[in-house]
Amino acid sequence: SSEVLEAIENVIQGVLQSLAQKKAPVLTVANRTDWRNIEFKDSVGLQMIPQCTTKQIRSDCPQSAKRFALILKILSMIYKMVQSNTYATKRDIYYSDTLLFGSQSVVDQIINDISCMLKIPRRSLHVLSTTKGFVAGNLSYTEEDGTKVNCTCSATVFTVPSNVQGIKNLTSHAKFILIVEKDATFQRLLDDDFFNKVSPCIMITGRGMPDLNTRLLVRKLWDSFQIPIFTLMDADPHGVEIMCIYKYGSVSMSFEAHHLTVPSIKWLGLLPSDLERLNICKDALIPFTKQDENKLASIQKRPYIACQPLWKKELEIMAASKLKAEIQVLTSLSSDYLSRVYLPNKLQFGGWL
């Protein structure tokens, strides 16, 4: 905490020095969304380069003066929380003054900018994300406040903890971890008692695009158990994008890649080649939109696809067919095909990439 307080004090000192010299104070933040600031490393995923381009947030410029003020406002809130050892969610910060902040996304972006500017992980700033992910299966742990969580004994779903760093005493006999893209598929696998039938496993869903806590939990489980991690996604560009975020990280959070990515994650399904192999009826597939085409084209250009020739092939199949499929398409074969046939076969015979 002293490191965080010192980092904030240094920023404020810089502002005061500028004022003392009758200069307009300026804050310098990294350009977090620029691909030129990103390098790809097999062992880490996407990470920010040390000499990255920056942008200045000036206090004397009408376009950026409000943002400058908001950064100082949130810095002061973080300073107080670290001093008093209290925590707040990003939502709490937004609702502390909705008129001032204007929208939740403004708060989210500023907190990420502050984390990047101070080079301090977000959870060390005492700002928690609102969690939307779920976990179930062969896992038990103790939360930071001493609450014991046991996912093993029932088909109950537990919300991913809001302070993943604080959980301890993780125990599991799981043979693998399955990341499921969507809530509906996750619930279906729970109803079918999948995590007990094949072999003990841990199931996680970020319910679409994963939040920070879900990604932190996947990473923590990997560090704790070193067991295979598979992804079950829709066979569409959006599903591939989500899988890449778990595996390689995102551009905007590349400054935190070391804590968030698991490059050993494998693509279990739904593969575009599976649709042909399983003779899925063309009528059950969905035609691409222009947005899908653009998203796929952008994914195909990313640096990590070049080192994944088998993924590249699957994306080419998808691009050529211009068709996509949700995991639910497997119910056209039989209602429990996913848990009874598809996943057990894949896991037994190594049908992942």
- Would you please indicate which residues are annotated as catalytic (active-site) residues? 95
CB 241 within 8 A of CB 181: no
Mapping DSSP onto H, E and C, the string for the chain reads CHHHHHHHHHHHHHHHHHHHCCCCCEEEEECCCCHHHEEEECCCEEEECCCCCEEEEECCCCCCHHHHHHHHHHHHHHHHHHHHCCCEEHHHHHHHCHHHHCCHHHHHHHHHHHHHHHCCCHHHHCEECCCCCEEEECCEEECCCCCEEECCCCCCCEECCCCHHHCEEEECCCCEEEEECCHHHHHHHHHCCHHHHCCCEEEEECCCCCCHHHHHHHHHHHHHHCCCEEEECCECHHHHHHHHHHHHCCCCCHHHHHHHCCCCCEEEECCHHHHHHCCCCHHHCEECCHHHHHHHHHHHCCHHHHCCHHHHHHHHHHHHHCEEECHHHHHHCCCCHHHHHHHHHHHHHCCCC
- Distance between CA atoms of 259 and 339, rounded to whole angstroms? 32
Cα 159 from chain centre = 15
Burial track 11-21 (b if 16+ CB lie within 10 A, e otherwise)? beeebeeeeee
What tokens were used for 247? 């595996």
